[in-house]
Amino acid sequence: MQQAVSLKERIILGIDPGTAVMGYGILKETGPKIELLAMGVVKMPATDDHMLKLQRIFEKTVALIDNYHPDCLAIEAPFYGKNIQVMLKLGRAQGMAIAAALSRNVEITEYAPRKIKQSITGNGSATKEQVAAMLQSLLKFKETPDFLDATDGLAVAVCHSFQRIPTGSGSSKAGSKKSYSGWDTFVKDNAKRVVK
């Protein structure tokens, strides 16, 4: 009599930090399959007090961690722009989410915006709408979030899930990952990872 093989489960919290809106997505990964647990946005108070916004980011991230008990946090890195003040504020917002995860001993991985878009759509220059449409197709959700920041947060979690090396692949070298010319070839080669 064969025993059922227990698939390893992992909960991933993805965050797209922002000073006006913070997007988040939470996935449950069971073996090669991923399932959407939650996604949404945290709106910052309409105030000029940047410190109050940072406090809200920290508190809401801790609340998400305490509620969903993620194994890891995947967070989007601030993009490089010409406005130094905007970059500084985004860096602080990211730092508060990271500090919240550190306060709960949650493993953290950071991804560049281009890397996230590339892993979801196959195109590092994809629009937010293209990323959202691909996530809807992949995770089979119909509701359209009020803000694309929610799907941006979810995209970070999905990107993190896609980075794992399959068990028993015999290779753990980052350079040995296969690249795909588009979404169709990725799905064809990874049918087991698609939730139906």
* Annotated binding-site residue numbers for Mg(2+): 16, 76, 149
Q: Which amino acid is at 181?
A: S
- Give catalytic status of residue 35 as yes or no: no
Q: Are 57 and 101 in contact (CB under 8 A)?
A: no
CA-CA distance, 60 to 62, in Å (whole number)? 5
What's the number of CA atoms in the CB half-sphere (13 Å) around residue 18?
17
Query: Would you tell me the crossing angle of helices 148-162 and 128-139 to the nearest 10 degrees?
Result: 60
Q: Which residues of 94-133 are buried (b: 16+ CB within 10 A; e: fewer)?
A: bbbbbebbeeeebeeeebebebbbbbbbbeeebeeeebbb
Give the residue ranges of the annotated binding site: 16, 76, 149
Residue appearing with tokens 């995947």:
74
Q: Which strand (E) or helix (H) includes residue 130?
A: helix 128-139
Give me the catalytic one of 129, 146, 149, 184.
Answer: 149
Burial class (CB within 10 angstroms; exposed 0-12, middle 13-18, buried 19+) of 10: middle
Cα-based angle 52, 147, 137 (whole degrees, multiple of 5) = 140
Catalytic annotation, pick one of 48, 71, 76, 129? 76
Active site residue 107: no
Catalytic annotation, residues: 16, 76, 149
